[in-house]
Amino acid sequence: MLAEAAHSWADTGDSVTLVVANRRSYRPPDRAHPVGQGREAYFWSLIAALALFVAGAAVSVGRGIQELIRPEPATDFVVGYVVLALAFVLEGISFMRSVRQARATAKMFGYDLIEEVMATSDPTLRAVFFEDFAALVGLVIAAVGLAAHQATGSSAPDAVGSILVGVILAVVAVVLINRNRQFLVGEEADPRVRAAALRALLEMPEVARVTHLRLEIVGPRVLYVIGYVDLVGDDTESHVAVRLRALEARISASPFVAGAVLSLSAPSEPSLVP
């Protein structure tokens, strides 16, 4: 129960941090941040994952070891079951909301649920999904440990359950820390997203072919597009520049694009195929 309490405190702190992440990451671009401040989401989500590791995993494992060394009798088992049941319902509601959100995007790109949660550039969705899943598993472990304690009179099952909860939280925290690190360092967009973007470019009537395309993730579900394109026709240099700028503006009008920079392809460069 104490391990789950520590987990709940960590979850509460993480939720506050993720709210900060969302608000700061959606600030509009300015002179100091020409492509916006989307990467704030990865920084604050990294802080939340570190807090989960320290306040959740470390406390749970430490408490379990302490209970094994100095066992304490438990009372009020019914109260414990009621608290765990209520927590399971609330965590389950939150978990199902994250599942529905992830499934909608997964269906669009042909992913399964876990692939989408791991691949998404939205760190808050990933954090809520994994933390709620860990919470549900932890609540089941806590209930089993409490029942074993009640049945045997020994606190050892409770202590082992606390350590298991801590290990689960540590694994989740490490996964979240690593994914946020990857996005902060800089990660190319998922291959299926890249293929969809390439198809969209080639479907534009003014684009004859694309020879280079780089999609840089600059925030949750936001990309910066860099590419080399061959335009239809054979205009003069000044007209080509105007057409390129118009094409960049059209691409940047998407809410999922922070900006676009296009250059002309060299005749010898091979065309990309989606």
CB 49 within 8 A of CB 127: yes
DSSP string for 123-143 = HHHHHHHHHHHHHHHHHHHHH
Query: Which residues pair with residue 227 across a beta bridge?
Result: 213, 262
DSSP string for 224-271 = EEEEEEEESS---HHHHHHHHHHHHHHHHTSTTEEEEEEEEPPTTSPP
pTM comes to 0.80
pLDDT tens, N- to C-terminus, the chain (274 residues): 666 676 676 667 767 777 877 777 778 788 888 788 888 889 988 888 888 887 778 888 888 888 888 887 777 788 888 988 988 998 899 899 989 988 888 887 778 888 889 988 889 889 889 988 988 998 899 889 888 888 888 888 888 888 998 899 899 999 999 999 999 888 788 888 899 899 999 999 999 999 999 999 998 889 999 999 999 888 777 788 899 999 999 999 998 899 999 999 988 899 998 7
Domain ranges of the chain: 2-185, 191-264
User: Rounded to an integer, what distance in angstroms lies between the CA atom of residue 226 and that of residue 263?
Assistant: 8
Q: Which CATH class is domain 191-264?
A: alpha beta
CB neighbour class for 14 (10 Å; exposed up to 12, middle 13-18, buried from 19):
buried
Q: How many CA atoms lie within 13 A of 268 on its CB side?
A: 0
* Tokens found for residue 103: 């499934």
CB 145 within 8 A of CB 114: no
CB 24 within 8 A of CB 44: yes
Amino acid at 77: F
CB 75 within 8 A of CB 85: no
Q: In terms of CATH architecture, what is 2-185?
A: Up-down Bundle (1.20)
Biggest CA-to-CA distance, the chain: 87
CA dihedral 252, 254, 257, 261 (to 10 degrees): -20
Rg, Å, the chain Cα set = 25
CA dihedral 50, 52, 54, 59 (to 10 degrees): -170
